[in-house]
Amino acid sequence: MSLGLKKNDEVQVMAGEHRGKTGRIIKVIPEKNRAIVEGINIVKRHTKPSPKNQQGGIMEKEASVHLSNLMLKCPKSGQPTRLGVKVLENGQRLRFSKKAKESIE
């Protein structure tokens, strides 16, 4: 499965409990076809006190979301869009929005 989505892309959740919410990708996990999105799928973890975390207690952090449930937001219109890939003459791959036909950095 071609990933298409990268770190710092603005995405919208299309399916599941958090459908309709938007956020920025913090990390992509290609082996599992998942991504961690800022502010989406918050879970609570009970942690023991450790040298890194003196207090311990209940921590909240983002859990991963499957890539099939995410869609890139078009930089021009702000609507969810599919990704296309063009290969330039010099062999460089260029991602573009299928909705606006505009390249994405």
Expressed as residue numbers, the domain containing 42 is 10-77
Total domains present in the chain: 1
User: Does the pTM of the predicted model rise above 0.85?
Assistant: no
Is residue 3 scored above 90 in pLDDT? no
| Beta carbons of 51 and 35 less than 8 angstroms apart | no
The conformation of residue 63, written as its DSSP 8-state character, comes to: P
Calpha distance 28→35 (Å, rounded): 4
The CATH number of whichever domain residue 48 belongs to comes to: 2.30.30.30
Q: Classify residue 64: in a domain, yes or no.
A: yes
Q: What is the pLDDT of residues 15-63, one digit of tens each?
A: 999 999 999 999 999 999 999 999 999 999 999 999 988 888 999 999 9
